[in-house]
Amino acid sequence: MMNEFENHETQFENMRDQLNTLKKKLDKQEIVNDRVIRHSMKQTASNITRRYYIIMAVALLMIPYSYAVFVMSLGLSLAFWIATSLFMLVCAGATYYNNLNVVNSNMMSSNLVEIGKKMARAKKFDANWLFFGIPAVIAWLAWLTWEIYQQDAEAGRYMVYGIGCGAILGAICGFKMHFKTQHQYQEIIDQIEDLTAEE
């Protein structure tokens, strides 16, 4: 009877050891999964940041470039160039502001809930930007067309065709970039939701 009791005790101890070992393995696996997912999120966030830096650089470079083209080459009004420059500065500033949500999120060690909030905020800002960006671009294109017509109505007609084609191509590229960014934000948010659901 005593031996049987000791055997049961030994089996119980073995089972407890095996469960502890299994728990340690699962904990270790969870840590590895957490790191892998965080690394993936960091990579996605880096892609968004890189895109934002390119947008900021292009917007700032457009200020001297637009002066050379619009004022010096085409003889358009200084008021139009100033408005163009202000628009580019607003674009660069808004992009910089939204990028702060991404670059200040330490994906590898920060609290996931906080990162999720920042990504949701950045995604919303990026989506809302269209409500300003699209009307502003339409107004800018209309002003550009009017400026060109003021210079030479006949030549202006042909230039407007070129502006129209450029606007269509620009819209396609812009929307493609916008939806890609939105998708990447959602990807990070979904990954955070998966991680926090497991906790």
d(CA 143, CA 125) in angstroms, rounded, equals: 27
Residue 157 pLDDT class (50, 70, 90 cuts):
confident
**Residue 151: is its pLDDT beyond 80?**
no
Residue 89 pLDDT class (50, 70, 90 cuts):
very high
Task: Judge residue 174's burial from the number of C-beta atoms within 10 Å of its C-beta, 0-12 exposed, 13-18 middle, 19 or more buried.
Answer: middle
State phi, psi for 107 to the nearest 5 degrees. -65, -25
d(CA 23, CA 29) in angstroms, rounded, equals: 10
Q: What mean pLDDT comes out for the span 104-116? A: 74
The secondary structure of 112-181 as a DSSP string is HHHHHHHHHHHHHHHHHHHHHHHHHHHHHHHHHHHHHHHH-HHHHHHHHHHHHHHHHHHHHHHHHHHHHH
Q: What mean pLDDT comes out for the span 110-139? A: 89
Whether 96 contacts 60, CB under 8 Å: no
Query: Which tens digit of pLDDT belongs to each residue from 30-68?
Result: 555 667 777 888 888 889 999 999 999 999 999 999 999
Predicted pLDDT at 12? 58
In eight-state DSSP terms, residue 199 is -
